[in-house]
């Protein structure tokens, strides 16, 4: 719950106590004063923090308790004694008990809804740099858009950049998600959740400052490219990109049109999610190429922007000799493909992504590679439990999925065989544990998981990995970092 929401709940509870139990000479005045404070708190909360439907029970209890206080005040002014006889005292006490019980239940519900659907806050980045952010539109005129029928459509991308900033106390904190209703419509297709349940996301703020000046503390900063998962969106890993930017990295998140929940362009046109029902390595070959081409195009564009001859925010600030890439799910597969296909990429992090695309080399990658896995994602028993549902929902038989499982595990095993490759497993985690998703509600995380602790470990490992291989901090021992974290293990094939 937000601060004023908590205050409103506390005042509600106190006034309920006053109405029910206190027998003071000036009780009527105290109750009326309390009701006024309560209504004032409600007005301030709506004005400063914003109305949200999860607070309707809280607003309702505010009104009811206020009316109770007003009624009590009027009774006191007309010298009406509620407790005239022992019989009336008994009836009054019984009535009070029933009212108190009902209002206690009602107030509990009023507190519960904002808690289970919170306006959450991200953990403060731990690096030494403030974080700035800006959004860019990029159009690749050399490629047509494969998801539309118009041959004149080019591939259009929205990207968001997070970067080390100068002190930016006067700049506004960036919203977590821009155009929340449109993005939530796309997420509804992905997670089967009605958009109104997540409408509070429009109030979530980040630690990044919009269009803040880039830091002058260093001449240039290493670059990291980020791709989300299919149906995700460019800032789905805000917990991670802000941390990396605070540690001295320029991070570029990419929205891949028609595969992201929703892409909103500067002219307010949209590229909405298209679920295609693909399954297996052959089905995803073409899409993998699109994403790799998107990422290469963005990298080319950033390289041009970083030229000292340009006047933009990145002018002269990107170290094009120190470039890494990371992603979640299908974005993780894209990161691995970029490691193989683009000589500019020096290190890659794949968070729980099946290795779609070109097969992994027989003896692993020849460049640093970190694979983070949820224990559930590599657990055959869990996979087998979901097979019947997968077969029923598709045109494929059980053998198709069994072959897919065997191939995916073989690719993961090969990827871990490289000299500087790491295969890390997170217990009590599943596929979405590597995103912001489990901050949306405390009801969502798998049993035994602590979302912010998992995010802390992800950030520590991500930073250590890129620091070692992009910043040259050879004293970092990845095995030691993993060993010192609970419920995280480093495995070798």
Residue 79 is predicted with a pLDDT of: 44
Predicted TM-score (pTM) above 0.75:
yes
Q: Which residues contact 305 (CB under 8 A, 6 or more apart)?
A: 312, 314, 315, 318
Residue 169 is predicted with a pLDDT of: 65
- H/E element holding 327? strand 318-328
CA distance 31 to 41: 15
Residue found by looking up tokens 């041009």 in the block: 304
Residue 305 is predicted with a pLDDT of: 92
Residue 92 is predicted with a pLDDT of: 66
- Domain ranges for the chain: 3-116, 131-491
Distance of CA 288 to the CA centre of its chain: 24
Positive or negative: CA dihedral 446, 451, 454, 455: positive
Residue 295 is predicted with a pLDDT of: 98
- H/E element holding 139? strand 131-144
Residue 83 is predicted with a pLDDT of: 40
CA distance 352 to 450: 18
Q: Which of 125, 357, 338 is nearest to 249 (CA)?
A: 125
The architecture in CATH of the region 131-491 reads: 3-Layer(aba) Sandwich (3.40)
- H/E element holding 247? none
Q: Which of 99, 117, 120 is nearest to 109 (CA)?
A: 117
Contact 114, 1 (CB under 8 A): yes
Q: Is 324 helix (H, G, I), strand (E, B) or coil?
A: strand
Residue 17 is predicted with a pLDDT of: 67
CA distance 131 to 118: 24
Strands in 488-491's sheet, in edge-to-edge order, are 173-175, 205-210, 131-144, 154-164, 250-255, 221-227, 318-328, 347-351, 369-374, 421-426, 488-491
CA distance 399 to 407: 12
Positions of the chain with pLDDT under 50: 78-86
């Amino acid at each position: 719950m937000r601060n004023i929401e908590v205050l409103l709940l506390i005042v509600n509870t106190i006034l309920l106590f006053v109405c029910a139990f206190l027998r003071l000479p000036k009780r009527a005045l105290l109750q009326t004063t309390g009701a006024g404070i309560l209504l004032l708190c409600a007005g301030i909360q709506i004005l400063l923090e914003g109305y949200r439907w999860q607070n309707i029970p809280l607003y309702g209890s505010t009104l009811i308790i206020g009316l109770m206080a007003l009624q009590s005040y009027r009774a006191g002014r007309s010298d009406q004694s509620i407790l005239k006889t022992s019989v009336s005292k008994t009836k009054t006490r019984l009535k009070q008990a029933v009212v108190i019980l009902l209002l206690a239940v009602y107030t509990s519900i009023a507190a519960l809804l904002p808690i289970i659907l919170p306006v959450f806050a991200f953990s403060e980045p731990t690096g030494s740099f403030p974080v700035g952010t800006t959004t860019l539109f990029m159009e690749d005129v050399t490629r047509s858009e494969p998801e539309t029928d118009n041959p004149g459509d080019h591939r259009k991308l929205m990207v968001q950049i997070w970067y080390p900033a100068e002190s930016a106390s006067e700049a506004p904190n960036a919203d977590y998600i821009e155009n929340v209703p449109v993005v939530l419509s796309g997420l509804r297709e992905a997670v089967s959740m009605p958009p109104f349940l997540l409408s509070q996301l429009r109030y979530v703020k980040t630690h990044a400052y919009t269009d803040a000046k880039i830091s002058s503390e260093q001449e240039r900063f290493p670059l990291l490219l980020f791709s989300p998962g299919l149906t995700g969106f460019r800032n789905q890993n805000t917990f991670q990109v802000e941390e990396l930017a605070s540690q001295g990295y320029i991070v570029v998140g990419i929205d891949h049109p028609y595969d992201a929940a929703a892409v909103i362009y500067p002219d307010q046109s949209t590229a909405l999610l298209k679920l295609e029902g693909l399954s297996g390595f052959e089905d995803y070959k073409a899409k993998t190429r699109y994403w790799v081409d998107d990422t290469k195009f963005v990298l080319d564009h950033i390289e041009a922007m970083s030229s000292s001859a340009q006047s933009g925010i990145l002018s002269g600030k990107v170290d094009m000799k120190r470039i890494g890439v990371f992603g979640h799910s299908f974005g993780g597969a894209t990161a691995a493909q970029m490691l193989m296909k683009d000589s500019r990429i020096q290190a890659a992090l794949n968070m729980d992504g099946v290795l779609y695309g070109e097969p992994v080399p027989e003896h692993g990658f020849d460049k640093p590679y970190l694979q983070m896995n949820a224990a559930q994602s590599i657990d055959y028993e869990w996979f087998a439990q979901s097979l019947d549902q997968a077969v029923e929902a598709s045109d494929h038989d059980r053998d198709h999925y069994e072959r897919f499982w065997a191939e995916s595990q073989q690719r993961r095993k090969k990827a871990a065989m490289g000299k500087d490759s790491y295969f890390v497993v997170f217990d009590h985690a599943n596929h979405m544990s590597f995103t912001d998703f489990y901050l949306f509600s405390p009801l969502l995380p798998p049993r035994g998981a602590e979302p912010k602790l998992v995010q802390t470990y992800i950030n520590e490992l991500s930073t250590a990995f890129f620091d070692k291989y992009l910043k040259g901090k050879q004293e970092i021992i990845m095995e030691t970092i993993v060993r010192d974290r609970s419920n995280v293990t480093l495995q070798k094939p």
